[in-house]
Structure 1
Amino acid sequence: MRVLTISGIFAVDEAASPGKEIVYGLTSTTRLLVVSLIKSNLFPILSLMLDSTVIAPFLGMHSWFLDEHSRSLFKKAHSLNFWEMPEQDDAYNQILNNAMVSDSNFLTDIILRECGDVFLGINSLIDVGGGQGGAARAIAIAFPQMKCTVLDLPHVIAEAPSDVHVSFISGDMFKYIPPANALFLKWVFHDWGDEDCVKLLKNCKEAIPPRDAGGKVIIVDMVVGSGLNEIVTRETHVLYDLFIMCVEGIEREEFEWKRIFMEAGFGDYKIISVLGVRSVIELYP
């Protein structure tokens, strides 16, 4: 308990009487993991991060650095990439889906409260790679006039619950994105290298109308160096950049985002830093 207290997992109740048994309590961080204390708890995210499937690749990092073949840490450990694994392992697929729903439930409430005006005037929205529809559902409830659809791979859509607010489409975002007034991509681009991101962005551009007709892409992702100038923010940015390399992903600084935006043919963008370590980016054709 002393180790967990020093680590910030628990706190000592200072009001306890001297000489009596120490009483421990939750911190503001660990309260986020308790189901009964918070509606959108983050325990499923932690479960994914600590799952042996995710941890195992890092145990072979030393040999990965010496490997002349170009493949991700994850694929080196499992012979499957991060997105192939859920198709082969139902238990891992469920853990991953639960984690993404948890993140969407937690983060979308903040987005709608802090910068919900990014959704004003949108008649139709597709949540690209939207999993089981957690984010799309919250957006649809907040903006009932908006038609919200989720696009994701077949094995993800197969697990999605029926919902009166959201419709689901099975498909591959790298092959085709159905037309909509706006597209929403949360925590998608950091999973992919620049070449794949440009390909995805070009598909996005084809799916939306021109800017003067209301077309735009709404991205929720990290912008390294953006947000609060605090050590915990900077540390999270760089440590997550290290973590995401497991799947050959990357966390980008603004100039790196701008490069892939311009290469994909987009004309302008705006970064809104209101989500702590993540930002909202409005991208215009």
Structure 2
Amino acid sequence: MESLDETEATLRGQAHIWKLMYAYADSMALKCAVELRVPDIIHSYGGGPVTLAQIASRIPSPSPGTAYLARIMRLLVRKNIFSANHCEPDGGHESHETLYSLTPSSRWLLQGPGSELSLAPLVLMENHPWLMSPWHCFGDCVKTGGIAFEMAHGRKIWDFASENPEFNRLFNDGMACVSGVVVRGIVEVYKDGFESIGSLVDVGGGVGKTLAEITKSFSHIQGINFDLPHVVATAPAHDGVTHVGGNMFETIPHADAVFMKVSFIAKYLMHIINL
């Protein structure tokens, strides 16, 4: 007969499996909030507090499902994405109505003007079915040693991006999001290095956001943003930056220095892509 401690440990083990089994619900709720631009809606009211009805009124739908929205908001409040408190009944609110506000976390999900460091593009990229489907191939990867993304989509990620403009945009926006967060810290601590060079090539620079930040702080630098042709084809113009398409395994443009960044997120993503 199990002791009380053994019984408790067994039940905790079961609860742990349930928690892991439904862990995806957190990221799906987060994605939903970003897609509906709930953080921006609350921000438009000064960051809160706002009612559920006020949020629903700004969602572009003739009949938003407020019951679903309430459940999603309740989950995200528990995860500290939003804060909530209950107001006392008065002339403007229903009895004990829940009021929602932004938190430091949800401010990272704003997508309007002045939100250059938003993580919203990364949330949308990582939780899109295109990048979620390779996770379902882990078992096959173990059996055959193949690559998860190729198993899910039948081609390498770079070929898939070149053939699919929407995926190309989604991926580039997500990577630009990572660059925007990382590069400002680099610029702050590596001033002497940047001041001593006249030209800089960013290998795998995506749509050029990293170089745009660098040349903004060091206007004397001539930046060369180097990436695959289908990537730079969609890159916007940046002051002091020239976009060049090519393959880094064949040749890279000449410059005083070469910049290659590998952030934790990028390494993690590349690991999943090539698993």
**TM-score, structure 1 normalization:** 0.62
**1:10-89 alignment, distance < 5 Å:** 10-13=82-85, 16-17=87-88, 20-36=96-112, 38-66=115-143, 68=144, 70-89=145-164
Query: RMSD of aligned C-alpha atoms?
Result: 2.4
| Offset at residue 108 of structure 1 (A) | 2.0
Change in 2 beyond 3 A, CA 1:244/1:173: closer
**1:163-178 alignment, distance < 5 Å:** 163-178=238-253
2:168 matched residue in structure 1: 93
| Offset at residue 45 of structure 1 (A) | 1.0
Question: CA contact under 8 A between 2:215 and 2:239: conserved in structure 1?
Answer: no
**1:176-187 alignment, distance < 5 Å:** 176-187=251-262
**1:119-198 alignment, distance < 5 Å:** 119-187=194-262
Q: Secondary structure of the residue that 2:140 maps to in structure 1? A: helix
Query: Are 2:178 and 1:110 aligned?
Result: no
Structure 1: gaps of 5 or more residues: 188-220, 223-235, 250-285
Please identify which structure carries the higher helix content.
2
Q: Deviations over 1:99-153 (max 9, x none)?
A: 2222223332232234433322111100111111111111112111111111111
Q: C-alpha distance in 2, partners of 1:186/1:245?
A: 15
Change in 2 beyond 3 A, CA 1:17/1:185: farther
Q: Secondary structure of the residue that 1:169 maps to in structure 2? A: strand
| Offset at residue 10 of structure 1 (A) | 1.6
Query: Are 2:75 and 1:3 aligned?
Result: yes
Question: CA contact under 8 A between 1:132 and 1:159: conserved in structure 2?
Answer: yes
Q: Deviations over 1:203-222 (max 9, x none)?
A: xxxxxxxxxxxxxxxxxx34
Q: How many residues align?
A: 197
| Offset at residue 17 of structure 1 (A) | 4.4
Q: Deviations over 1:187-235 (max 9, x none)?
A: 3xxxxxxxxxxxxxxxxxxxxxxxxxxxxxxxxx34xxxxxxxxxxxxx
Structure 2: gaps of 5 or more residues: 1-72, 90-94
Identity of aligned residues (%): 28
* Equivalent position amino acid for 1:108 in 2: V
Q: C-alpha distance in 2, partners of 1:244/1:97?
A: 14
| Offset at residue 180 of structure 1 (A) | 1.6
Consecutive aligned runs of 4 or more in structure 1 exceeding 3 Å deviation: 16-19, 114-118
* Equivalent position amino acid for 1:4 in 2: L
**TM-score, structure 2 normalization:** 0.64
**1:208-219 alignment, distance < 5 Å:** none
Q: Deviations over 1:71-113 (max 9, x none)?
A: 2111111111222210111110111112222222333223223
* Equivalent position amino acid for 1:77 in 2: A
Q: Secondary structure of the residue that 1:23 maps to in structure 2? A: strand
Question: CA contact under 8 A between 2:200 and 2:224: conserved in structure 1?
Answer: yes
Please identify which structure carries the higher strand content.
1
Change in 2 beyond 3 A, CA 1:53/1:127: same
1:276 matched residue in structure 2: none
* Equivalent position amino acid for 2:273 in 1: V
2:3 matched residue in structure 1: none
